Amino acid sequence: MSGEMKLLPCPFCGNEHPDYERVGTPRQSCIVACGNCGCRHESGDEGEHNGSSWNTRASPPPPEDGWKPIESAPKDGTRIMLSNGKDVAEGWWVHDEGGITEHRDLDGRYIGQDESEGYIGWLDFDGGMLPEPTHYRPLPPPPAALEPKEQHD
């Protein structure tokens, strides 16, 4: 199919590769579908405008409880709340390819090394959530500092 515009990720699950189920023409509607969550969008888009309403649709409001699908979580080391539906923990995304790390003293002399197999995935302070997290939410802001109480003699 030629002339279709590049589609934005699915607004519900974050799938980066939604696809045209049917290209719009003057005689049939355009249908864009997500092969991951099953979301479908049918419109009157046609020709070079195929997919334009998919790309300009409003994103759904976040759930009332603030939890979002893990696929849309930041993967830059930002600390967030993770949940697998059973447990909740503070965590972050780790992308460590592993390898050998050399250690040197302040003069640059070799003093040892560590070898690591690496780790790519969600990590929390307990070492990793099992089963894997399915949802996340930003950390709440810290509480306001308390004013010191005056002492009465």
For residue range 15-39, list pLDDT tens digits in order: 888 998 888 888 888 899 988 888 8
Separation CA 2–CA 20 (nearest Å): 11
Structure tokens at 94: 């780790």
Separation CA 63–CA 67 (nearest Å): 6
In the chain, where the domains are located: 1-60, 68-138
| pLDDT one-digit tens code per residue, 69-123 | 999 999 999 999 999 988 899 999 999 888 998 999 999 999 999 998 988 999 9
